[in-house]
């Protein structure tokens, strides 16, 4: 299913409920980042963004908008297919989590089964990747998790070495958890090693 512009794409999302969205950054009307943000307001559908622009800056903007993955053009069709399979597999794994993990310290509540995160009783909206990352950190509260462990468990082995993903998403999570970056309460940094979720 294709769409000529962002508005048509958002409309087709509601009509056809796709399993995966592949979204170009450069489109007439709304750009891909705006479309991605609109989609994330209403849907957790796995989403891969494509761009021919500066890879690093655009990747950070795409992840910030809620994309699950990012590819620079030109790209190999087999690479896109492999990334699509990985994103879909992660989404399925999250839906079929058999361990109904819950975390509650009085202020922060994480309910994996209901996909709910509450902070001081108020629901906070997380993208699918942010939710997976927070859940992984909370499941391993008190343990030092290296960048590579986080990448492998949240994104998959195909992403080894892609540290930007971890840093960007940790930064987003901290912001959504209302953390003071100088003295965070939940997600602590071990410089050059990784992160630890405070029990």
Task: Report the 3 state secondary structure along the chain.
Answer: CCCCCHHHHHHHHHHHCCCCEEEECCCCCCCHHHHHHHHHHHCCCCEEEEECCCHHHHHHHHHHHCCCEEEECCCCHHHHHHHHHHHHHHHHHHHCCCCCCEEECCCEEEECCCCEEEECCEECCCCHHHHHHHHHHHHCCCCEEEHHHHHHHHHCHHHCCCHHHHHHHHHHHHHHCCCCCCCCCCEEEECCCEEEECC
Q: Could you tell me the two tokens for 83?
A: 């990334």
Distance of CA 183 to the CA centre of its chain: 24
Are 103 and 199 contained in the same domain? yes
Name the CA radius of gyration of the chain, rounded: 17
**pLDDT, position 55:** 65
**pLDDT, position 109:** 93
CATH at 193: 1.10.10.10
Q: Could you tell me the two tokens for 169?
A: 């998403």
Are 137 and 180 contained in the same domain? yes
Are 88 and 111 contained in the same domain? no
Residue stretches of the chain with pLDDT short of 50: none
Q: Which of 36, 61, 96 is the last residue of a domain?
A: 96
Q: Which of 96, 113, 139 is the last residue of a domain?
A: 96
Sole residue written with tokens 């590819």: 71
Are 85 and 146 contained in the same domain? no
Are 198 and 114 contained in the same domain? yes
Are 149 and 171 contained in the same domain? yes
| Domain carrying residue 59 | 1-96
**pLDDT, position 2:** 93
Are 29 and 57 contained in the same domain? yes
Is 63:169 a contact under the CB 8 Å cutoff? yes
Are 76 and 108 contained in the same domain? no
Are 111 and 158 contained in the same domain? yes
Q: Which of 58, 78, 96 is the last residue of a domain?
A: 96
Are 105 and 199 contained in the same domain? yes
Q: Could you tell me the two tokens for 131?
A: 């939710």
Are 194 and 176 contained in the same domain? yes
**pLDDT, position 12:** 93
Are 169 and 90 contained in the same domain? no
**pLDDT, position 99:** 63
**pLDDT, position 97:** 56
Q: How many structural domains are present in the chain?
A: 2
CATH at 51: 3.40.50.2300
């Amino acid at each position: 299913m294709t769409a000529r512009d962002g508005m048509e794409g958002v409309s087709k999302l509601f009509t056809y409920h796709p399993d995966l969205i592949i979204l170009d950054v450069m489109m007439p009307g709304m750009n891909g980042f705006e479309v991605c943000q609109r989609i994330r307001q209403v849907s957790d559908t796995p989403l891969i963004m494509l761009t021919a622009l500066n890879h690093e800056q655009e990747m950070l903007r795409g992840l910030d908008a809620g994309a699950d993955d990012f590819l620079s053009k030109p790209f190999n069709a087999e690479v896109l297919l492999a990334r699509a399979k990985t994103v879909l597999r992660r989404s399925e794994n999250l839906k079929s989590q058999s361990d109904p993990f819950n975390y509650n310290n009085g202020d922060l509540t994480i309910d994996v089964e209901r996909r709910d995160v509450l902070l001081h009783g108020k629901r906070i909206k997380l993208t699918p990747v942010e939710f997976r990352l927070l859940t992984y950190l909370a499941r391993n509260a008190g343990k030092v998790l290296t960048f590579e462990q986080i990448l492998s468990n949240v994104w998959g082995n195909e992403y080894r070495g892609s540290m930007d993903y971890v840093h960007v998403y940790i930064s987003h999570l901290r912001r959504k958890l209302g953390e003071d970056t100088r003295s965070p309460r939940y997600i602590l940094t071990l410089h050059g090693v990784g992160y630890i979720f405070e029990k």
